[in-house]
Amino acid sequence: MARRQIYMDHNATTPLHPEVKKALREGMELYGNPSSLHSFGRKARHMIEESRGKVASFINADPEEVIFVGSGSEANNTVLSMLMCPSKVCSCGNADMAGREIITTSIEHPCIMRTSECLQDRGVPIKYLSVDQYGKIDFEELAGAITGRTGLVSVMMANNEIGTVQDIKETSRIVREKGVLFHTDAVQAAGKMPVDVRELDVDFLTLSGHKIYGPKGIGALYVRKGTPFCPLIRGGHQEQGRRAGTENTLGIVGMGKAVEARGKEMNTESKRHLQMKRALKEGLAGSIPDIRFNGHPTDSLANTLNMSFKGAEGEAILLYLDEAGVAVSTGSACASGSLDPSHVLIATGVPVEQAHGSIRVSLGRGNTMKDIDYLLEVFPPIIKKIRDMSSAYKRES
Amino acid sequence: MEKERNEWVYTEKVKDHFLNPRNILEDEQSYEDDGKGIVGNIKCGDRMMMVIKVDKDKNVITDCRWKTYGCASAIASTSALSEMVIGMPLEEAYHISPKDVTAQLGGLPEHKIHCSVLGDKALRAAINDYYQRNGMPEKVQKEEARIICQCMNVTDHEIEDAVLDGARNYYELQERTKLGTVCGQCKDEAIELLEKYKKKHFGEA
Ligand code: FES
């Protein structure tokens, strides 16, 4: 088969949807400041509010419950940082949040993990829920962890590395029953499965533009009506005073179009991806010995397949695949220069030496069954080549 | 430095050694080595094995083969090292440093240097093994660790590892090793070693 160029790293980021590109080109003309009263400003304001409506209907929220922010990371930082809101100085009227405890999980995105660590240093107590071998949290552990001191629980909807999907509806039921605020990071789930804030019954929910074929540098935070809130970025009336700074008009226009386009194709896309993932999984399982698949076998994002290879290191696999034209990612530490392998794989009990040899394939709208065939052809010889020079692999036979 | 649009993370030489590794130990069972060294740990992400054959009259390495579990830099540096030492006198090979290997590869990104340091360690272990087997234990130079921070029990080896792992100043060194956090007496010596290892592995201090 001829060499192909294949992008299979859609959980890292996605290319712009053609409809988004078109909207962005038109949006480039909107240079007015959305806060200005003149016609230039009003035009920009109109486009922003139209996008807000689209994002709101994408997650079944009211438009005034949607705040545009700079990224999914910013949205997550905003939510967690409310817990150290300095009650005496801040005018947000949110006094009783300060100093309360946060409960989150051990497999969150780094922007939750790092922020939690930082908050802990500043005196906010943090509890981390464990996960089972598939990456699922335990509801009993959750219920037992919540105390009178708990101010917020944050559990991601779908994991970026292994694709495991949590039962957010049940999680939020347990949390809200105890009168505690609940946040979910839905950055990876959105656009790959239905996300309905009313059905999930959450207080906060995070979205990102570039994971759903929208532009980078734009995200959205859902805040349920009446929920206490304290901004992370202050000093402006924008976004109802909840996120200061002149709006990223172009980004917002792009994100509005992205959710609209994605909403239409999501179901068919997910079905297609699931078929492709199954073919890939079966094909690899049949052609590569000592392979292990990580994450939940069924409650998992349709586009995500994470696997570990005995005796082959992740960065080496990634670079050989790249040489063959296939772009994937690894949970291997070495690729990032740290010595610790993926905290997610370790939390799910993948042995350290296998976590070093893990690869994530994340499919997107551009991928076809032909790509899967190609990958199935180039992958096994690569693993064999790496294992042949590996001091940590002996074929059992 | 401006990066080319399509440039690899690594130099062309690294890429070449990674994609076309030389001197892999293909048939471990039937290879009759004169010395064998294994260093590293799969848990840390890399493990290397080097075997050598030696011309016993001339004390010259006549063949060198390897197996490596690790990332691209680890694989490329073992491959490059194996090419360097074939035909080299034992004495000279014994003193090859990670910097020599990196130079051979045309450099490595700073955060990948630690992936390359196992190569020369494995080679020294193989040479030591040869000395032991051939009745020359006096030639084996012990790389014994020396305790620098008495309070926290931190050795010079750990300081070197911390430098390779990215520590560039005393504060970062402390963060990684916890040395100097009790009585503080070790500070001057630790800083001296920090500068020494920075120079050794990264050139300019
Ligand atoms: S000797 Fe290092 S702190 Fe005391």
Angle, CA of A84, A85 and A89, to the nearest 5°? 135
What band does B3 get if pLDDT is binned at 50, 70 and 90? Answer: very low
Yes or no: say if A164 and A171 are a contact pair by the CB < 8 Å rule: no
Nearest CA in chain A to B25: A389
Query: Beta strand A150-154 with A181-185: parallel, antiparallel or unpaired?
Result: parallel
B74 vs A contacts (CB less than 8 Å): 313, 334
Nearest CA in chain B to A356: B45
A313/B24 CB distance under 8 A: no
Of all protein residues, the one whose alpha carbon is nearest to atom 1 of ligand 1 is: B149
B42/A333 CB distance under 8 A: no
Count chain A–chain B contacts defined by CB atoms under 8 A: 69
Nearest atom in ligand 1 to the alpha carbon of residue B187 is 2
Yes or no: say if A248 and A68 are a contact pair by the CB < 8 Å rule: yes
Residue type, B142: K
Q: Which pLDDT does position A339 carry in this prediction?
A: 62
Going by C-alpha positions, the residue among B106, B149, B136 that lies closest to residue B15 is B106
| Angular region, A180: left φ>0, alpha ψ -120 to 50, beta rest | beta
Tell me the nearest-neighbour CA distance from A308 into chain B, angstroms. 13
SS3 A75: helix
pLDDT in tens, B114-168: 777 788 889 999 999 999 999 888 888 766 678 888 777 788 888 988 888 888 9
What lies within 8 Å, CB to CB, of A176 at 6+ separation is: A182, A201, A203
Largest Cα–Cα separation, chain A: 77
Looking at the predicted structure, is the pLDDT value of residue B204 above 60?
A: no
Q: Which pLDDT does position A392 carry in this prediction?
A: 87
Tell me the nearest-neighbour CA distance from A303 into chain B, angstroms. 26
Q: Which pLDDT does position A276 carry in this prediction?
A: 98
Residue type, B94: Y
B198 alpha carbon to ligand 1 midpoint, in Å? 21
Residue type, B67: K
Report d(CA A39, CA A50) in Å as an integer: 16
Q: Which pLDDT does position B2 carry in this prediction?
A: 42
B70/A389 CB distance under 8 A: no
State whether the beta carbon of B169 lies less than 6 angstroms from ligand 1: no
Q: Which pLDDT does position A332 carry in this prediction?
A: 67
A313/B45 CB distance under 8 A: yes
Nearest CA in chain A to B45: A356
Q: What is the SS3 assignment for A97-141?
A: HCCCEEEEECCCCHHHHHHHHHHHHCCCCEEEECECCCCCECHHH
What band does B37 get if pLDDT is binned at 50, 70 and 90? Answer: very high
Going by C-alpha positions, the residue among A301, A78, A62, A296 that lies closest to residue A183 is A78
Q: What is chain A's pLDDT, residue by residue, as a tens digit (397 residues)?
A: 678 899 999 999 999 999 999 999 999 999 999 999 999 999 999 999 999 999 999 999 999 999 999 999 999 999 998 887 665 556 676 656 777 899 999 999 999 999 999 888 888 899 999 999 999 999 999 999 999 999 999 999 999 999 999 999 999 999 999 999 999 999 999 999 999 999 999 999 999 999 999 999 999 999 999 998 888 998 889 999 899 999 999 999 999 999 999 999 999 999 999 999 999 999 999 999 999 999 999 999 999 999 999 999 999 999 999 999 999 999 766 656 566 789 999 999 998 888 999 999 999 999 999 999 999 999 999 999 999 999 888 865 4
SS3 A64: helix
Chain A CB within 8 Å of residue B53 CB = no
CA atoms within 13 A on the CB side of B24: 18
SS3 A231: coil
CB within 8 Å of chain A, chain B residues 90-149:
109, 111-112, 114-115
DSSP B99-124: HHHHHHTT---GGGGGGTHHHHHHHH
Class of residue A311 by CB neighbours under 10 A (exposed 0-12, middle 13-18, buried 19+) = buried
Report d(CA A87, CA A241) in Å as an integer: 18
SS3 B40: strand
Looking at the predicted structure, is the pLDDT value of residue B23 above 60?
A: yes
Backbone angles phi, psi at A18, to 5 degrees: -55, -40
One of B64, B115, B149, B186 is an active-site residue; which one? B115
CA A340 from centroid of its chain's CA atoms: 21
B69 vs A contacts (CB less than 8 Å): 311-313, 390-393
Tokens 């438009």 sit on residue: A63
Tell me the nearest-neighbour CA distance from A156 into chain B, angstroms. 28
Neighbouring CB atoms inside 10 A of A122's CB total 10
Yes or no: say if A267 and A242 are a contact pair by the CB < 8 Å rule: no
Q: Which pLDDT does position A334 carry in this prediction?
A: 61
Neighbouring CB atoms inside 10 A of B135's CB total 8
| A334 among known catalytic residues | yes
B149 alpha carbon to ligand 1 midpoint, in Å? 5
Going by C-alpha positions, the residue among A207, A353, A315 that lies closest to residue B112 is A315
Q: Which pLDDT does position A25 carry in this prediction?
A: 96
Largest Cα–Cα separation, chain B: 55
Report d(CA A391, CA A384) in Å as an integer: 13
Chain A CB within 8 Å of residue B47 CB = yes
Reported in sequence order, the residue ranges of chain B that DSSP labels E, i.e. its strands, are 35-41, 46-55, 60-69, 147-149, 154-155
Yes or no: say if A190 and A270 are a contact pair by the CB < 8 Å rule: no
Pocket test for ligand 1, best of B146, B147, B150, B189 (most atoms within 8 A of CB): B150
What band does B205 get if pLDDT is binned at 50, 70 and 90? Answer: very low
Neighbouring CB atoms inside 10 A of B88's CB total 15
State whether the beta carbon of B150 lies less than 6 angstroms from ligand 1: yes
Q: Which pLDDT does position A397 carry in this prediction?
A: 41
User: What pTM value is reported for the model?
Assistant: 0.87
Nearest atom in ligand 1 to the alpha carbon of residue B180 is 3
What band does B55 get if pLDDT is binned at 50, 70 and 90? Answer: very high
Tokens 């096994």 sit on residue: A380
Torsion of CA B188, B190, B193, B195, to 10 degrees: -70
Yes or no: say if B88 and B60 are a contact pair by the CB < 8 Å rule: yes
Report d(CA B129, CA B78) in Å as an integer: 18
B71 vs A contacts (CB less than 8 Å): 313-316, 332, 334-335
Tokens 């794989």 sit on residue: A345
Helix segments in chain B, DSSP class H: 12-19, 72-85, 90-94, 98-104, 117-133, 156-164, 170-177, 187-202
B187 alpha carbon to ligand 1 midpoint, in Å? 7
CA A228 from centroid of its chain's CA atoms: 24
Tokens 């990071």 sit on residue: A185
B204 alpha carbon to ligand 1 midpoint, in Å? 27
Nearest CA in chain A to B8: A319
Q: Which pLDDT does position B151 carry in this prediction?
A: 76
ipTM: 0.85
DSSP A293-317: EES-SSSB-TTEEEEEETT--HHHH
The length of chain A in residues reads: 397
Q: What is the DSSP letter of A9?
A: B
Report d(CA A183, CA A109) in Å as an integer: 13
